[in-house]
Amino acid sequence: MTAPIIAQHDVAFFDLDGVIYLGPIAVPGAVQGIADVRAAGARVMYVTNNAARSAEAVARHLTELGFTAGPDDLITSAQVAVGVLAEQLPAGSLLLIAGTNNLSRLAEAAGFRTTDSADDEPDAVLQGYSPTIDWRVLDEASIAVQRGATWYGTNDDLNRPTDRGLVPGLGAQLNVVGSTVRQQPIVFGKPHAPMLDFAVRHTHAQRPIFVGDRIDTDIKGGNRAGMPTLLVFTGAHGKRDLLEAGPGDRPTFIGADLRALLEPGRVATGEGDVRSCGAATVRLHDGSVVVEGPLDTEAAQLDALWALATLVWHTGADATGALALLDRLR
């Protein structure tokens, strides 16, 4: 039998929102799945773009949900942002913080002075996600950037998944400032290089894999870092997003959830207008995509989806009708 995906990796990096939990609840199967990944001999590290909470607070939340986790098992975009800025800016630089108290505390612990007023003439603006952002803070950030402060963002996710659905993320808050100052911030989180470069250095990973639910941050970030990626369908992105992914945004593997790491990776074969995966075959016939094979289980539909994705990426075919057949997948 072919070895499971995780057998080839020494460290598994996991996104949190949409992979491990959805707000106050764990993703079904995630607690046991993480335990099984550890039992297989891989180190588990959580890598999140969410800068709102401290690593200690996130670790407590994970523990409450049934995971074994401590602050050392977490890397946040806030930690990475402050760490990089501590290397680049003079000691004691003044930062206007547009985010939560967690971001302010991290900055102050790194030797920065902080403010919430553009009139204090800050050297830089550091913006991080806050679920209760005050509009006045966005005003101050905008004014500071217009006056010459360098603008940084911990991440630029446009939205984030919750147990109730998608809600605006930091990317949406950055766009409020960006539409005013007509420039873009320097960003540290996925898919930008600093986040996963830091994660690899921190863990001394030799054969890492990244598991995420977002193509534009998790998968793109892992691909840019040169590591295999697993896209799971428990959070932000679904089957249509997979088919629409550009060449640099396509995952190495797909799975219903993170437990796919404990199974062999799907492999699509074929050429031209035909692709097969498992018992599924998809072909382009007279301009339409035809799906052949059983579709009565989630696993069978994932096989068909992987075959379909590789065909669409090669041919650019319209797979709308074929996607409708995969009704067990979101």
CATH of the domain at 179: 3.40.50.1000
| pLDDT reading at 162 higher than 90 | no
Predicted pLDDT at 286: 87
Per-residue pLDDT, averaged over 316-326, amounts to 94
Token look-up 């930091």 returns 170
In a domain, 268, yes or no: no
Shared-domain flag, residues 19 and 115: no
Shared-domain flag, residues 166 and 214: no
In a domain, 100, yes or no: yes
In a domain, 69, yes or no: no
In a domain, 115, yes or no: yes
Helix 193-203 crosses helix 77-88 at what angle (to 10 degrees)?
100
In a domain, 105, yes or no: yes
Interval 200-219: pLDDT, tens: 999 999 999 999 999 999 99
Interval 110-137: pLDDT, tens: 999 999 999 999 999 999 999 999 999 9
H/E run at residue 292: strand 288-292
Chosen domain end from 165, 187, 209: 187
Q: Active site includes 17?
A: yes
Residue 222: pLDDT band with limits 50, 70, 90: very high
In a domain, 67, yes or no: no
Shared-domain flag, residues 204 and 299: no
Shared-domain flag, residues 320 and 307: yes
In a domain, 169, yes or no: yes
Predicted pLDDT at 160: 86
Predicted pLDDT at 176: 96
Shared-domain flag, residues 246 and 280: no
**CA triple 74-79-80, angle to 5 deg:** 105
Q: Active-site residue among 10, 17, 73, 123?
A: 17
CA distances from 37 to 45, 244, 309 (A): 11, 30, 27
Shared-domain flag, residues 168 and 216: no
Chosen domain end from 187, 208, 224: 187
**Is 250 in contact with 298 (CB distance < 8 Å)?**
no
Per-residue pLDDT, averaged over 11-37, amounts to 97
Shared-domain flag, residues 236 and 286: no
Per-residue pLDDT, averaged over 179-195, amounts to 96
Shared-domain flag, residues 84 and 179: yes
On average, the pLDDT of the chain sits at 96
Shared-domain flag, residues 202 and 256: yes
Which residue in 93, 40, 108, 1 sits closest to 258, CA to CA? 40
Chosen domain end from 142, 160, 187: 187
In a domain, 267, yes or no: no
Q: Active site includes 286?
A: no
Predicted pLDDT at 130: 95
**Is 161 in contact with 236 (CB distance < 8 Å)?**
yes
| pLDDT reading at 1 higher than 70 | no
Shared-domain flag, residues 115 and 179: yes
Shared-domain flag, residues 178 and 215: no
Interval 57-110: pLDDT, tens: 999 999 999 999 999 999 999 999 999 999 999 999 999 999 999 999 999 999
Per-residue pLDDT, averaged over 155-175, amounts to 92
Q: Active-site residue among 10, 15, 36, 197?
A: 15
Task: Give me the domain span that covers residue 175.
Answer: 79-187
Structural domain count of the chain: 3
Per-residue pLDDT, averaged over 290-316, amounts to 97
Q: Within a 13 Å sphere around the CA of 227, how many CA atoms are in the beta-carbon half?
A: 31
Shared-domain flag, residues 290 and 213: no
What does residue 138 show for φ and ψ, rounded to 5 degrees?
Answer: -65, -35
